[in-house]
Amino acid sequence: MAFVPVDNVVEVALRYLLPDTAAANVLTFYCTYPLTQSRVCSIAEQVADWWETDLRDWQGTHLTLQEVYARDLTNDMSYTCTDSRWSGYHGGYGAGSPLPSNVAACLSLRTEARGRSGRGRQYTTALTTNHVSGDYINSNYAAGIKAAYDKLLPAGGALTDYWQWCIVSRYHNRHARENGIWNLVTHTLWVNMVLDSARRRLPG
């Protein structure tokens, strides 16, 4: 896949190990100041701390955080940074039995823009039997995940004010853009509470 630059945006990947595969949650953030090495490291650190403080408690203990990896998308040779302070830490939810690695719920990320390029999503990771009821996530899990992600919004307090959570669009009508575009995330929501399958997390 060809690299598509996105000015002043950093992509941050939370990289995990599950019992039979690797997985990741990938987020993007716009910086209101020019990017530097130290600023790229600062967003890696802030997202890592957000995971440890807010998201981790909703992930089963069968998940292990490997690292939080940030890369500046301004060009393909720009800054990167890895935060490993929580490397080896497990998810904080110990009740129930682990569900298969691909089982997920899909939280929708919304912006003020219309169309697919103005929406994003996050597939949750490391669910247990206590998070679900039949083919649906339960209301307690849904509320906890939403509250954790909402901490990344301006009112949430997880990020310093010069970092803004955004959605990046690199393609339009199946063609790569010359430069990616971004829109700020304004809110999150559950379109439905039906369990989904993150196929890339299937073993093999």
**Domain membership flag for residue 3:** no
Domain range enclosing 89? 9-201
**Domain membership flag for residue 4:** no
Provide long-range contacts, Cβ within 8 A and 24+ apart, for 148-157. Answer: 148/50, 148/54, 148/55, 148/57, 148/58, 149/55, 149/107, 149/109, 149/122, 149/188, 150/187, 150/188, 151/50, 151/54, 152/27, 152/50, 152/185, 153/185, 153/186, 153/187, 153/188
**173 Cα distance to chain centroid:** 24
Q: Name the band, by pLDDT with cuts 50, 70 and 90, for residue 169.
A: confident
Side-chain-side CA neighbours of 142 within 13 Å: the count stands at 17
Q: Name the band, by pLDDT with cuts 50, 70 and 90, for residue 81.
A: very high
The CB density around residue 196, as the number of other CB atoms within 10 Å, is: 15
Is the model's pLDDT at 204 over the cut of 70? no
**Domain membership flag for residue 77:** yes
Q: CA-to-CA distance for 52 and 89, rounded, in angstroms? A: 9
**Domain membership flag for residue 96:** yes
**Domain membership flag for residue 73:** yes
Q: Name the band, by pLDDT with cuts 50, 70 and 90, for residue 22.
A: very high
**Domain membership flag for residue 124:** yes
- Specify the number of domains making up the chain: 1
Mean pLDDT computed over every residue of the chain: 94
Is the model's pLDDT at 175 over the cut of 80? no
| Portion of the chain with pLDDT greater than 70, in percent | 96
Is the model's pLDDT at 41 over the cut of 90? yes
Choice between 88 and 170, residue whose per-residue pLDDT is larger: 88
**Domain membership flag for residue 2:** no
**Domain membership flag for residue 162:** yes
